[in-house]
Amino acid sequence: MLYMGIDIGTQGVRCVVADAVGGVAASKSVPFPRLNRAAREGWYEQSPADWQAAAEQAIGGCVDEMKAGGLRPEDIAAISVDGTSGTVVPLDASHRPLTEGIMYNDPRARELVPRVRDAMGRCEQKLGYAFGASFSLPRILWVRESLPDVYEKTAVFAHQADFVAGLLCGEFAVSDYSNALKTGYDLLDGGWPEEIETALGIDRARLPRIVRPGEPIGHVGKAAAGRLGLSTHTLVVGGSTDGYASALAAGAVRPGSWASIIGTTFVLKGVTRQLVIDPSGCAYSHRLPSGAWLLGGAGNIGGRVLNDCAGARGFDAMDAAAEALIPTGARCYPLPGRGERFPFAHPDCEAFYIGSIAGDRLYAAVMEGVGFAERLAYDRMIRLGCPVNDVIFAAGGACRSDLWLRIRASILNRQIRAPRVVDAAMGSALLAAASQAGADGLAEAAGRMIHYAKTVDPDPALVTPYTELYGRFREDIRKLYGVEV
């Protein structure tokens, strides 16, 4: 049996085909030709046609690689798709996009957030999160009020993962309860709250039918099978958000396990037996198929700024130069734009840099700054009463840097374990593998399929100086942003 996971990320699509013990039979990554197609400055949009082209190229590349290795596409039992959380696109009755995809980091609906929060206050209190500009429900309200002609033609508001899954199986009006959380889906009662319709005027019939992650949706359609070389016997199953899938890929599937995912942005997820409420709404819980909860949050900070620092020199060269510079003694919060949502909420804060960051020191300081923000997030979880084990699982592109892993382990003063396959696509492959199993299917699949390639312990020479710098970093956050951390 083989399982395909498809990750629709910010920068492109990655497809992985894995076997029942986690061996990678094929993999392919395809970047998007343009990361932002918005005509208005400050908005963020991507083309669903770009999502489709990249996804189909990635799938086709995997199928070709499988065939070259003597494997058959018919052996792919199931496919699951993850996408960026909060990204949404209106589709007409023929499943054609009526606008570009409105991305998770698009701020256009910010002014509508208070209205959404007033309408959905009961749901916020019940589930322990606060609607923000990164949520899809305010964007749907924006479409209804700013683009009424588009709204009237909309048959379903699809999340990014829903759209790509629909291209495979023809079911575009089906989503999973991970992606649906930011659209207002009630994870406890299992339905769309009536306030979406009565208080916001959004027709719930235009929202997708919801399944659990890993639940079968349909088989690959004949057209998609013929176009991509897949089999019509292959199931397409419920997917998730990219952060959810990355946490699964790292190993956060059992109560007490925690994962840090650092790619373009930073995501933290940990498994709790009971629903944990963060009074600030910064941290909130998804739900696992087992019924346990996946607590955490997603920030705007992450590896994006590090990409800019590395430039043409590349990460290996920059890592080699930075190794002699740590600890830098500098403190920074390297936001790529305005506003933060986790591990604290501040809509207007901007990056700060304190201390010398000349030359290669900037690159090293940014790695440290993201590490300090990561520790801030875990300290928040501890204050909420969640135990944090001495081992942290890690995923995302940041795991490719051994130096960054050592910096982070030393700041956290905890061991970090990075899996052999660090991509969200592997988390989606896990959901595909668990699709026909019972409540413990995901944990069982993870036990077979996740293997750790790197184990990094705190560096004794760095723990003490980073502990001191972290204390000053927290004071910087309090003074410059006016938030209690």
- Residue 270 pairs in a beta bridge with 258, 295
Query: Beta strands 352-354 and 331-333: pairing type?
Result: antiparallel
CA-CA distances (angstroms) from residue 68 to 59, 61, 65, 228, 466? 14, 11, 5, 15, 49
Strand duo 415-419 + 391-395: pairing = parallel
Beta strand pairing call for 2-8 and 391-395: unpaired
Q: How far apart are CA 230 and CA 239, in angstroms?
A: 18
Q: Tell me the pLDDT tens digit for each residue of 449-476.
A: 999 999 999 999 999 999 999 999 999 9
> Which residues are CB-contacts of 34 (< 8 A; sequence separation ≥ 6)?
46, 47, 50
For residue 53, the 8-state DSSP code is H
Which of the 8 DSSP states describes residue 232?
Answer: T
Q: How many Å apart are CA 476 and CA 312, to the nearest integer? A: 32
With contact defined as beta carbons under 8 Å apart, do 15 and 62 qualify?
yes
In 34-190 the beta strands, taken as DSSP E runs, fall at 45-46, 76-83, 88-91, 101-102, 156-159, 174-176
Residue 67, number of CB atoms within 10 A of its CB: 13
Order of all β-strands in the sheet with 45-46: 45-46, 101-102, 88-91, 156-159
Unique residue bearing structure tokens 């660090």: 422
Q: Which of 288, 233, 218, 255 is nearest to 441 (CA)?
A: 288
Inter-CA distances, 52 with 8, 43, 56, 163, 167, Å: 10, 21, 6, 9, 8
Side-chain half-sphere of 187: how many Cα atoms within 13 Å?
28
Cα-Cα-Cα-Cα torsion 247, 102, 44, 480, nearest 10 degrees, comes to -60
Cα 36 from Cα 10, distance rounded (Å): 10
| Residue 345, phi then psi, degrees to nearest 5 | -110, 125
CA angle 475, 262, 85 (to 5 degrees): 105
Q: Strand pairing partners for 81?
A: 6
Please list the ranges in the chain whose pLDDT falls under 50: none
Determine the Cα–Cα distance for residues 413 and 228; give it in Å rounded to an integer. Answer: 47
- Residue whose pair of structure tokens reads 């989503």 in the numeric block: 175
Which residues have a Cβ under 8 Å from the Cβ of 40 and sit 6 or more positions away? none
Pick from 140, 214, 205: nearest CA to 432: 214
Give all domains of the chain, ordered by start, each with its CATH number: 2-243 (3.30.420.40), 253-481 (3.30.420.40)
Handedness of CA 189, 192, 196, 197 (dihedral sign): negative
**Angle 392-397-403 from CA coordinates, rounded to 5°:** 70
Identify the pLDDT of residue 439: 59
Tell me whether residue 393 is exposed, middle or buried, using C-beta atoms within 10 angstroms of its C-beta: 0 to 12, 13 to 18, 19 or more. buried
pLDDT at 438: 64
Contact 222, 239 (CB under 8 A): no
